[in-house]
Structure 1
Amino acid sequence: MGEIESAHALEQGLGKALARVGLAPPTGLARLTGGATMESWRFSSGSDGFVLRRAPSLAFMQGRPFGHASEAAIIRAAHDAGVTAPEVIVELRPDDGIGSGFVMRALPGTPDPRAILAMEKPERLLREAARNLARIHVLRPQALPEDLPEMDYGEAVEGLAGQFEEAGRDRPIVALGLRWLRENLPERVEPVLNHGDFRLGNLLAEDSHLTGVLDWELAHFGDRHEDLAYGCMAVWRFSRVDRPALGLGALQDYVAAYEAESGMRVDAGRFRYWLVYRTVWWALGCLRNANMWRSGEDRMLERVVISRRTSEQELDLLLLLEEDAPEEEQARRIPPANDPLEAEGEASVGEIATAVAEWLSTIKDSVEGHDRFQLAVARNALGMIARNDVVGIHGEDAMLALDLLDGEVSLATPGLLAMLRRAALDKLAADVPKYPMLALARAKWTGEE
């Protein structure tokens, strides 16, 4: 399965699937870049373009709430209801010999967030995204697969706590978030269909118009505010942290367009809850990528790099929760940063990583497609090693995390917020120094530009 399959085997299996719906064998099969969860392959059949979406392995599908057949059925229902979703053509079968997945008709546009953010009319894109989300939320259960799960809020939070335990429970800021989620658990509301991953990166756009809503594998029934909040996380705004709604515009404009289409009011308190929830969720999701790599479940290089993006979510989480701290703690100065360690003697691990990254940069023009993407990921990984080596970043305090989780200490504890701010800045500066929220947080907390 996955990376070890030959292009010939993939073409043969795909040809079998296409033949079932009267389409010609595939040509021009090429792996699309990105896709840390599922694989995407672009190809032609006759004069038309299509995309194969499939799992990297059959083992990868084990334990998931539903399979590709149900995902395809959800997309079909959304497409029929006027959502800008792809047209599903055919699902893979076991005798196709190429695993689990389905084929969709290719849509125009780009999923590249930076290209989308550069379009001339982001406010129009924002309104179209809001209207699409509202249409998703009115899809009735009768039109959807029976195995689509409903989120139990309390169980979901405890599931995150279980992931935290498995990940070593040594991240104090994540522990702080888990404690807050338990203390502020909202009452259940009538559930709606949630897309589950409605954000830039999973939306296609062209000429300032939304042309596609992709990646429905996390769909479930739950609170509409979870879907609304998720796309507004800082991480999904990419370079436009000044635009709170999907990186495209003002939150009030997003909410107004959603309310006009859905006829439902958006509750600010529930929105904030799910913003915190999803930030903790993604922090733990990043950590889980490391275990997926360690276990051999998926040895893609992206897994280990994504695991280090936990520090992005920790900083964002602290920015979300610090407003609950007493004013005197919010105003307290944070400790200074540690001075960089000076290297002596033989080359350090970080220096070796830097040397390899520099060499990789000399060959980047000789590779293309998914290999070029992987080369960029490798250079990012080496940069993480080098920066952590220079500043001497150490692991988080497991005892502090436990105290925060148990409520023994809190943001009211003198000096704790200042210490957590310093730790978040230092860790993120080593892991992902170009993360846009880092500059914002540094200016807010230290006064440095």
Structure 2
Amino acid sequence: MTEPGSDTADLADGLRRVMARAGFRGELGTPHRLSGGANMQSWRFSCGDEDFVLRRAPSQEWIEARPVALAQEAAVIRRAVAGGVMAPEVIEELTPSDGIGIGFVMRAIPGTADPKAVLAGDPQAMIGDLATALARIHALDPEGLDFLPVLDPASGVESLAEQFESYGGDRPVIALGLAWLRANVPPPAAPRLVHGDLRIGNVMAHDGRLSGVLDWELAHTGDPHEDLAYGCMTVWRFGKLDAPAFGFTDLETYFAAYEAAGGAPVDRARFRFWLVYRTVWWALGCLGMGTYWRGGTDRSLERVVVARRAAEQELDLLLLLESDAPEEERQRRLAPAPQPEGERQGEPSAGEILTAISEWLAAAVKPKLEGRDRFDLAVAQNALGIVRRELAGRPDPHDRVLVEDLLSGRATLATPGLLARLRRTVLDTLASDQPKYPALPRAREEWEGN
């Protein structure tokens, strides 16, 4: 089914109505869809001499399953801006009569959200800006924002367990993470406003400094340590493995900057709990993308490709939790990695045909594309690679029996050979699903000794 405003001309007509209602009468430029955003759409356009961004839901079905409505998200952003947080100014919400879906228009802010460019900024200045943004968010008065969900750590863990079961409940490393979370749940904290998705990729930087915090769709009330930990996940550091604080610096420098900006003293145990929690959360989030796709909520190719990123988080979970294993298990040698087949003769294999398609796309199609279309082509090439590598041999990462043993406590990281077995499976699964994940080469070096 075609969504409202899916045609660029229709979108421009609707935006003219929105901007006129907001008091802007200038000529409207052609909207261009921005490349990022697996969940929400972002369209940049000009009106007169100013630039704006439309943020809208990909479908009505998607918005119905969302815990925070878009109008409520806009209210949170307005509260944040009023509290001194660097965030975009919300200009106007869409209405049904606009005919272009559900969302709101923001004034564009300078800079870029491209992770490579953001991480090229001044590390000391950027970590100070990010710490200040977090401290100000956590100091915001949540009065009047009663619509926001509340995340209690104990109930949150059980919600993750239910989600895990609904996705098959058969990935042992995720079960290991759930078992650890259940054993390490901290007492509830005084609830504060939590952004819920503050990481590299969801912030703008300009001239080496933070210029805005984006994407407030996961805002809720809960423990500020969740926000502190989330941006430090390996996946959101884009290869900056030696700078655990957002890819800019060490954790102690980050914590000191947060406290100096007015944030409460950082509890290291709480921080670790939420780091493990959000790693499990994103592993499940990846698996859930397949459910969204199968159910027809979002049939985009990006969904199914992201669904194959769960192994990234399984690797990170093992790296976070392996210190709990006995030394003997940490030093146990891994089984040899499967060896690739020799060079094929004669007719091309299915994998070689997929490679040929990918090469043709790169040579003949990519030069003709730009913007979102070029991004979608990269997703398609990634998908072809996933299929090609699976045909060459992908281990089965599913084991319901082992999951039950882990969740019941019958198996732990002290079980002889278990850690080595999990390491081998995760390395080989990730090499098939996402071989360019930056943490993979280092994990191979540490675990295989190569």
Alignment of 1:33-432 (within 5 A): 33-119=35-121, 121-142=122-143, 144-342=144-342, 346-362=347-363, 363-432=365-434
Asked if structure 2 preserves the Cα contact closer than 8 Å seen for 1:283 and 1:310, the reply is yes
Distance 1:398 1:351 in 2: 33
Q: Which moved more, 1:14-23 or 1:345-354?
A: 345-354
Q: Which moved more, 1:133-142 or 1:354-363?
A: 354-363
Please report how far the alpha carbon of residue 334 of structure 1 lies from its aligned counterpart in structure 2 after TM superposition: 1.2
Asked if structure 1 preserves the Cα contact closer than 8 Å seen for 2:193 and 2:220, the reply is yes
Secondary structure at the aligned position of 2:410 is classed as: coil
Secondary structure at the aligned position of 2:92 is classed as: strand
Give the superposed CA RMSD. 1.4
Asked if structure 2 preserves the Cα contact closer than 8 Å seen for 1:125 and 1:208, the reply is yes
Aligned-residue sequence identity (percent) comes to 57
Matched, 1:17 2:18: yes
Distance 1:438 1:396 in 2: 20
Distance 1:251 1:155 in 2: 28
Please report how far the alpha carbon of residue 246 of structure 1 lies from its aligned counterpart in structure 2 after TM superposition: 0.4
Please report how far the alpha carbon of residue 387 of structure 1 lies from its aligned counterpart in structure 2 after TM superposition: 1.7
Secondary structure at the aligned position of 1:262 is classed as: coil
Change (3 A) 1:4 1:351: farther
Distance 1:247 1:381 in 2: 27
Distance 2:282 2:240 in 1: 19
Distance 1:323 1:299 in 2: 40
Please report how far the alpha carbon of residue 146 of structure 1 lies from its aligned counterpart in structure 2 after TM superposition: 2.2
Distance 1:280 1:341 in 2: 34
TM-score (normalizing by structure 1): 0.97
Please report how far the alpha carbon of residue 46 of structure 1 lies from its aligned counterpart in structure 2 after TM superposition: 0.6
Secondary structure at the aligned position of 1:434 is classed as: coil
Which letter does structure 2 place at the counterpart of 1:181?
A: L
Please report how far the alpha carbon of residue 2 of structure 1 lies from its aligned counterpart in structure 2 after TM superposition: 4.4
Asked if structure 2 preserves the Cα contact closer than 8 Å seen for 1:339 and 1:391, the reply is no
Secondary structure at the aligned position of 2:430 is classed as: helix
Change (3 A) 1:4 1:382: farther
Structure 2 unaligned segments of length 5 or more: list them.
none
Q: Which moved more, 1:388-397 or 1:427-436?
A: 388-397
Secondary structure at the aligned position of 1:332 is classed as: coil
Asked if structure 2 preserves the Cα contact closer than 8 Å seen for 1:3 and 1:56, the reply is no
State the match for 1:447 in structure 2: 449
Distance 2:332 2:352 in 1: 36
Please report how far the alpha carbon of residue 391 of structure 1 lies from its aligned counterpart in structure 2 after TM superposition: 3.1
Distance 1:159 1:382 in 2: 34
Distance 1:184 1:7 in 2: 50
Which letter does structure 2 place at the counterpart of 1:419?
A: R
Please report how far the alpha carbon of residue 346 of structure 1 lies from its aligned counterpart in structure 2 after TM superposition: 5.0
Distance 1:263 1:274 in 2: 17
Distance 1:399 1:351 in 2: 36
Which letter does structure 1 place at the counterpart of 2:166?
A: E
Distance 1:49 1:418 in 2: 53
Change (3 A) 1:263 1:245: closer
Secondary structure at the aligned position of 1:28 is classed as: coil
TM-score (normalizing by structure 2): 0.96
Please report how far the alpha carbon of residue 411 of structure 1 lies from its aligned counterpart in structure 2 after TM superposition: 0.6
Choose which of 430, 434, 437 in structure 2 pairs with 1:435: 437
Which letter does structure 2 place at the counterpart of 1:27?
A: G
Asked if structure 2 preserves the Cα contact closer than 8 Å seen for 1:114 and 1:239, the reply is no
Q: Which moved more, 1:304-313 or 1:26-35?
A: 26-35
Please report how far the alpha carbon of residue 392 of structure 1 lies from its aligned counterpart in structure 2 after TM superposition: 3.8
